[in-house]
Amino acid sequence: MVEADDGSRTRCHPRGKRSDCVVGDRVQWAAAGDEGVIEHIEPRRNLLHRQDEWRTKSFAANIDQLLVLVAVEPMYAESQLTRALVAASHAGIAARVVLNKTDLPQADVARERLRPYREMGTAITEVSLKGRPDEAVATLAPLLAGRATLVLGPSGMGKSTLINRMVPAAAAQVGEISQALQAGRHTTTTTTWYWLDEHRSGALIDSPGFQEFGLRQVPPADLAAHMPDLAEHAGRCRFYNCTHLHEPGCAVREAVDAGTISASRYRIYGELREELSRTKW
């Protein structure tokens, strides 16, 4: 669906069988009966990807801000959070973490898990979308105004609730949390653009819960530069091309041993570095 400057919408199709368009693209199109044909995709400011075991697929472009929603319960995967933040950094997109369900008793545990991210400068906002909805809206509204914000997060974190709070007309389906698996049931199946207001001054982009956020576009040697806690020490390594995994005189490893870099963050770095090293460049 293509939306014109006047707000009108037209169902459009790409020329040929394959479409490279993603949500957020600016395109040139031509009328073809009651529908349209996409003639050209304008240059993108940025592009985000997701991946599975076999392929990488782009899914959103021209984003101003990435909002990663995590929750006190169910427990989120730190590796997923790291993937999203690395991808945003590589694409030059500002990122913010929102911790939801802070009215629950386990909130302090969740805050402690986020402490390394807060210390390395990641913007973190706390809300309770269901417990204190008015307060949550008042907190988030100025952070979202005037920006195209991609909302990411595993199912069960409250992503659909956030969309519904900020865009009541969206009527996004809210998923129930699986008590047996302590994981959310996926309810969003497509990436969708919602205008925040009638003036179209800002928007939320809702995307399916992510298991494997695409990072194959990141060269292995650049990974540490997109992890601020590692980047702070990487420039002091003995070797200019240090992998920060086994070399002598590695300032990153020394910081891990000293507790300056959290062990979990360093473990995730090693896993991602190994994964990216298997990518063909």
Domains annotated on the chain, with CATH? 2-41 (no CATH), 47-206 (3.40.50.300), 220-277 (1.10.40.50)
pTM: 0.86
pLDDT bucket at 59, cuts 50 / 70 / 90: confident
CA 99 vs. chain centroid, Å, equals 14
Across 50-62, average pLDDT: 78
Q: Report the b/e string of 220-244 with b at 16+ CB within 10 A.
A: beebbbbbbbbebbbeebeeeebbb
pLDDT bucket at 135, cuts 50 / 70 / 90: very high
Nearest partner of 48 among 39, 58, 40, 36, judged by Cα = 58
Q: Helices 107-119 and 78-91 meet at what angle, rounded to 10?
A: 30
Nearest partner of 87 among 46, 41, 117, 121, judged by Cα = 46
Average pLDDT value over all residues in the chain: 87
CB 50 within 8 A of CB 213: yes
Cα gap 61→199, rounded to integer Å = 21
Q: What is the pLDDT of residues 157-202, one digit of tens each?
A: 899 899 999 997 776 444 333 343 344 444 445 788 889 988 888 9
Instruction: Please report the pLDDT score of residue 267 as a whole number.
Output: 97
| Residue 212: other Cβ atoms inside 10 A | 15
Find tokens 């070399």 and name the residue.
247
**Which two structure tokens, joined as six digits, stand for 27?**
């395109």
CB 2 within 8 A of CB 39: no
